[in-house]
Structure 1
Amino acid sequence: MILTEEQSRAVGELPPQHPPVKIQKVGVLIVNLGTPDGTDYKSMRRYLKEFLTDRRVIEWSRFLWYPILFGIVLNTRPGRVGKAYEEIWNKDLDESYLRTYTRNQSDRLGEMLASHPSVMVDWAMRYGQPSISDKLNALKDAGCDRIVLFPLYPQYAAATTATVNDKAFEALMKMRWQPALRTVPPYHDDPAYIEAIAQSIETHVAGLDWDPEILLMSFHGIPQSYFLKGDPYHCQCLKTARLVRERLGWPKEKLMPTFQSRFGPEEWLQPYTDKTVEKLAKEGVKRIAVINPGFVSDCLETLEEIAGEAGEIFHENGGEHFTHIPCLNDSDGGMKVLEAVVRRELQGWI
């Protein structure tokens, strides 16, 4: 007896039908560090716990680190950091500016790639929401069988770029049908990036009624031990600084790379930004500017730590004029950089 297809399925000779699979779209997922959902204690503690339990961020032994983290840090730091976030919170949208700018970058990038209807652009955060896993699954379910994963870090560090990639591949490990995945390499020396940073400096300085004697190029620091283990971050930061200085045509003494945001008792990359700002002021330097080229979007570390705290340190020690040059954010110049990198990585897929 010959069975119909429906009869064959009923007796188990053919697999059950499943919904039609959507394919042949290409996803672009931009990923930034992360942000708390609010400035309250619980939101801050939840965010800091996810961040500070990442083995890429804190490489100490869990036996040494966890008693400190859960016994001290997560009981004291959420309140202090929450107050700092409160000072730079986007009150209009009730969210951090990092979330605002990252969403805007995703929206604008989607518009820039609108001539390719097969391309879908979305955004995620490594820590907090929306998560990398949720967005990868959403892109896959929407028909993206190829995805470009774009960690928004011009300079590569294991504690930033690598942990984004780790989380993405962790999500793929749970998928029966995985999309193909491309990860975007660092773009610390990309001509479009160097030009955008240089132009932002020129535009900002042109709007001042004074000329900076020195410009500090402040990058987020990493422990010195990470560098000694082979992390290329320090070298890439210095190369970015050199290329921007050469593009501006400035002498070596006018542009100085420094490192900020150290945490814990370890020695971090030097010179430290805060100590350098203090030292320059005490030595008689009256006018400085600071830019954060390693940050794609303004956030706590740029708005509160540099524009706020560093400026106060400079003035308290004799400095007269201090200015912080904003990150590229969702500006036209910044978006040209993201578009250039993404279009390069999409080659062969669109």
Structure 2
Amino acid sequence: MSSGISSAQSDFPARRIGVLLVNLGTPDATDYWSMRRYLKEFLSDRRVIEENRLKWWLVLNLIVLSVRPGRKGRDYEKIWNRARNESPLMTITRAQAEKLAPLLDDNRLTVDWAMRYGNPSIALKLDALQRAGCDRILLVPLYPQYAAATTATVCDKAFDALAAMRAQPALRVAPAYYDDPVYIDALARSIERHLATLDFQPEVFLASFHGMPEEYVRQGDPYAGQCAETTRLLRARLGLDEQRLRLTFQSRFGPAEWLKPYTDKTVEQLARKGVKRLAVVTPGFAADCLETLEEIAMENAGIFRAAGGEAFAAIPCLNDSEDGLRVIAGVVRRELGGWL
């Protein structure tokens, strides 16, 4: 008796498990129109800018997208990977995915990477994983601390992509790992390793995280608390008190009050109070990017020296280092439990 199902319909690809690493995003180039396209996608996200939509549309399209692409394009020019003609964030995220696959060492897994804004898109890579036979996919937002403007919007974009699929893969999302002992130890080891290369001993360390409007926290976003907990654990691991390792927030945008203390203001105040040697670590970034390579290592270093400081160190992110990959692999192995 025939079931009515043809052999073509019953031939499924081999079942595989996909692991998709996702970071924030990157422009395709540093020219005005590439930057404008990227910034429009980023700043149109309602998770990022929680403002009256009509008011923000006017501000974004009539003001922000007229002046900001040129300025940000010049900033990207300072850090652009000219050998690959791409941003450092793209270079590092690709390397993280390429190094993660052999580290996991399981032929049932396919590891790939995507960007929330710009290319390669989440939808493109989810489709590619499904076509490769992945009926289960672990989405790994590379944000140690959860925020609606980062982790949640990655999920939104992934769910949008799934909504267009008839045969949806099962999807898991790796949670924030802000208090993971492996992550804290990796940060501490990275700091210690970098300090050994310096010809000075910092008097003060700043743990600088990306900022957020205070209103978002009042509405229930757990981000600020998770940043504080990461910093507390890092202090304990390094044996530093609150005066030696201070929590600050960078990259504020617009007129609203953002989480304080601000990194740039703290850097200036420390120098004016006589601190001559300063180091900044950026635990909220899994990979070096514009905010770390330009804003911290260049802009804030300049602020520090202009205010009387002498020696400034921007400590690299974990990136695709052995410790950095150990953190990502640990998260992935934990979250694949039951699938492998």
Q: Report the Cα offset of residue 251 of structure 1.
A: 2.0
Q: TM-score, normalised by structure 2?
A: 0.98
Counterpart residue type for residue 328 of structure 1: L
Give the number of aligned pairs: 340
Question: Aligned residue for 2:183?
Answer: 193
Q: Report the Cα offset of residue 18 of structure 1.
A: 4.2
Given candidates 133, 137, 140, the residue that maps to 2:130 is 140
Q: Measure, in 1, the Cα distance between the counterparts of 2:152 and 2:188.
A: 27
Question: Aligned residue for 1:107?
Answer: 98
| C-alpha contact 1:23 1:145 (8 A) present in aligned 2 | no
Unaligned runs of 5+ in 1: none
Q: Measure, in 2, the Cα distance between the counterparts of 1:332 and 1:51.
A: 31
Question: Aligned residue for 1:30?
Answer: 21
Q: Measure, in 2, the Cα distance between the counterparts of 1:18 and 1:71.
A: 52
Q: Report the Cα offset of residue 291 of structure 1.
A: 0.7
Q: Measure, in 1, the Cα distance between the counterparts of 2:241 and 2:47.
A: 37
Q: Secondary structure at the match of 1:259?
A: strand
Q: Report the Cα offset of residue 21 of structure 1.
A: 2.3
| C-alpha contact 1:107 1:121 (8 A) present in aligned 2 | yes
| Change in CA separation of 1:61 and 1:211 when aligned onto 2, cut-off 3 Å | same
Counterpart residue type for residue 88 of structure 1: I
Computed over aligned residues only, the root mean square deviation of the Cα atoms, in angstroms, reads: 1.4
Q: Report the Cα offset of residue 250 of structure 1.
A: 1.3
Q: Measure, in 2, the Cα distance between the counterparts of 1:169 and 1:185.
A: 16
Q: Show CA shifts across 1:116-170 (max 9, x none).
A: 1111000000000111011011101111111000000000000000000110011
Q: Show CA shifts across 1:75-131 (max 9, x none).
A: 1110110000000000111100000000000000011122x1111000000000111
Given candidates 32, 36, 58, the residue that maps to 1:41 is 32
Q: Measure, in 2, the Cα distance between the counterparts of 1:84 and 1:210.
A: 28
Q: Report the Cα offset of residue 252 of structure 1.
A: 2.0
Given candidates 98, 111, 118, the residue that maps to 1:121 is 111
Q: Measure, in 2, the Cα distance between the counterparts of 1:173 and 1:240.
A: 35
Q: Measure, in 1, the Cα distance between the counterparts of 2:88 and 2:193.
A: 22
Unaligned runs of 5+ in 2: none
Question: Aligned residue for 1:84?
Answer: 75
Given candidates 279, 285, 290, the residue that maps to 1:289 is 279
Given candidates 254, 260, 265, the residue that maps to 1:270 is 260
| C-alpha contact 1:146 1:181 (8 A) present in aligned 2 | yes
Given candidates 205, 208, 217, the residue that maps to 1:218 is 208
Given candidates 40, 45, 49, the residue that maps to 1:54 is 45
Given candidates 65, 68, 77, the residue that maps to 2:56 is 65
Question: Aligned residue for 1:96?
Answer: 87
Q: Measure, in 2, the Cα distance between the counterparts of 1:33 and 1:23.
A: 31
Identity %: 61
1:188-267 to 2 correspondences below 5 Å:
188-267=178-257
Question: Aligned residue for 1:149?
Answer: 139
Q: Measure, in 2, the Cα distance between the counterparts of 1:275 and 1:19.
A: 63
Q: Measure, in 1, the Cα distance between the counterparts of 2:285 and 2:327.
A: 13
